Amino acid sequence: MDAATEMTLTFRCPRGLENVVPRPFPAVTGLPEWFKALPQKAFNSTLGGESFTVKKCPPFIDAMTYGFLIPLATDLEVRDGEFSWNFDLPEGVAGDQSYSPIDFHDPSQIAGTPFFDDDRFIIKFTNFWTIQAPAGYSLLFTHPVNRRDLPFTTLTGLVDCDAFYDNPVLFPARWHDPDFNGVLPKGTPVAQCLPVKRENWLGSFEVLSDDDTARVFASRTEIQHGNDVYRRKYRAAKR
């Protein structure tokens, strides 16, 4: 398998906040408790026997563990649709940026999209870290992959952070659980940061040849009768 190439994203925060706001962290270290608790096999009533769960699905896992997770800066309390927080800044921290952990977008800014509700704002999670990517790389910021358990959905955006890195990227999100009452803890991942190399792509469309078809059937048979075939034979090393 191909060895993973080491690349570096540089995260910078304002002086004085380096010991206050949590650092972005590799997504591989941020798997949620529900995933850790999953069994590797479960009874499949359709087949009448045990089948592997998503805990044994490499593409599912690789998507969740790729890149970095951006954490919530402080505890966020939600009561009957109202947000509150305590975020005390240390002495000496100054500047013209907002130090609120969340902001908002007016609903008019997303009117006509599936995210629109006429009586609900789009919240915006504040990110206190600028992020510099290597030359030729953009960063895809999206909702933490496969995290439907979170009460919000972060909108997806692609930012050319090899050039735009002097300002933090903020994360608009739709709060989709109006019944949520409680505390969203400091450190909760609010966005996943996925490096993407900028390249031009073309699509090529062909009909399967006889040799192609033979390989399709051979691969299908191998997967159906094998154990972890994709992981053992085809999966590239990620780290």
Is pLDDT of 46 > 90?
no
Mean pLDDT (whole number) for 83-106: 78
Average pLDDT of the residues of the chain: 91
pLDDT at 23: 98
Assigned CATH topology for domain 10-30+65-85+96-199: Deoxyuridine 5'-Triphosphate Nucleotidohydrolase; Chain A (2.70.40)
The pLDDT confidence band at residue 224, using thresholds 50, 70 and 90, is confident
DSSP string for 128-178: --EEEPPTTEEEEEESPTT-TTSSEEEPPEEE-TTT--SSPPPEEEEE--T
Gap between the Cα atoms of 122 and 216, Å rounded: 46
Listed in sequence order, the residues at least 6 apart from 189 whose beta carbon sits closer than 8 Å to its beta carbon are: 30, 69, 70, 71, 72, 144, 147, 150
pLDDT tens-place string over residues 155-209: 999 999 999 999 999 999 999 998 999 999 999 999 999 999 999 999 999 999 9
Q: For residues 7 and 111, which has the higher predicted lDDT (pLDDT)? A: 7
Average pLDDT of the segment spanning 212-221: 95
Q: Binning pLDDT at 50, 70 and 90, where does residue 231 land?
A: confident
The CA distance from 189 to 187, in Å, is 6
Amino acid present at 156? T
